[in-house]
Amino acid sequence: MSAITGSCLCGECQYESRAEPLNIRVCHCIQCQKATGSAFYPRVMIPLDSLKVIGPVGWFVTGSGLRRGFCTKCGSTLFSERKSRNVVGVSLGTLDSPERFDPTCHIWMSSKQPWLLLDDELPKHQEGP
């Protein structure tokens, strides 16, 4: 597989990984909605130790053991990291080639916004898979 690369809106934060994705999911939980300012958070999960990052990344630690990474210059949401599991979710919208990655399921449908209509055939989990 070719490298997974991307950056924030202003380009100051850039990242790369040569690992295969562990999964590609769309999360609808309230935490992801608040963190991204969107109704959902599509992300590519990769091993944390495969990620190389350059730039001014700020981190916010949530109560659930998750760290969220963002560009301190433009504010773009970049990462959702669980160090204890050696995984990091990379925001699909920040990838240089997001069209390469098709989500495989929706998670936390119990928190999905009621006005959001999903017409795909992907599995839909009320909570985590």
List per-residue pLDDT tens for the chain, 129 residues long.
689 999 999 999 999 999 999 999 999 999 999 999 999 999 999 999 999 999 999 999 987 889 999 999 999 999 999 999 999 999 999 999 999 999 999 999 999 999 999 999 999 999 988
For residue 122, give the amino acid letter: L
Residue 106, helix vs strand vs coil: strand
**Which are the contacts of 69, defined by CB distance < 8 A and separation ≥ 6?**
53, 57, 58, 59, 77, 78, 79, 80, 81
E strand or H helix that includes residue 30: helix 30-36
Q: What is the pLDDT of residue 127?
A: 95
* 4-111 maps to CATH 3.90.1200.10: no
Q: What is the pLDDT of residue 64?
A: 81
For residue 5, give the amino acid letter: T
**Is-contact 90 46, C-beta < 8 A?**
yes
Residue 69 has φ and ψ, to the nearest 5°, of -105, 140
Q: How far is CA 63 from CA 15, 47, 95, 106, in A?
A: 26, 21, 27, 23
Residue 66 has φ and ψ, to the nearest 5°, of -100, 140
Q: What is the pLDDT of residue 129?
A: 80
Q: What is the pLDDT of residue 11?
A: 97
